[in-house]
Amino acid sequence: MKCQFCNCADSRVVDSRPTDDGNSIRRRRECISCGRRFTTYEKVEVQQLLVIKKDNSRELFDPKKVRSGIIAACHKRPVSAAEIEKSVNSIEQLAYNNLQEEITTRQIGEMVMESLRKLDEVAYIRFASVYRSFTDIPTFMQELKALVSDKEDKEEEGKE
């Protein structure tokens, strides 16, 4: 690792520890030449995941887009930033764990809806109304009935 101060290519690791999120390693290094210390971060190199859009074009998976969709759905809802971040990380992990080089926007949308269903029902309905493009009230009501039915089923399971 090159020293940022003198450009020497030799340094030694003084301290190593995982970051708070556990996704990378923080290393304190000391330059062999000038003796100054600097910090580096080591992270696992992930494969590039391509997203197949509705028009069959492809682009790189961007967790920022997932985050912005969830944030929009959770606007003015009692959902913390930590819960949103946990959902985004979970969806990103699921996307990469499918062990494919490509994933469809439909698959990502379903992952987001499942995550929002567990997180906040109103946020789920907001996202579903845009994602599934409800064009009339009966379609919207059908989704609401399915949500209520799922909730009642879970309550029944809890009583047993």
Going through the chain in order, the beta strands assigned E by DSSP cover 11-18, 24-31, 37-43, 50-52, 58-60, 102-104
Q: 């690792």: which residue's tokens?
A: 1
14-69 pLDDT tens trace:
999 998 888 889 999 999 999 999 999 998 876 789 999 999 999 999 999 999 99
Query: CA end-to-end span of the chain, whole Å?
Result: 60
107-147 pLDDT tens trace:
999 999 999 989 998 998 889 888 777 777 887 788 778 87
The pTM (predicted TM-score) of the whole model is 0.63
Radius of gyration for the alpha carbons in the chain, expressed in angstroms and rounded:
22
> b or e along 88-126 (b: 16 or more beta carbons within 10 Å of the residue's beta carbon)?
beebbeebeeeeeeebeeebbbebbbebbbebbbebbbb
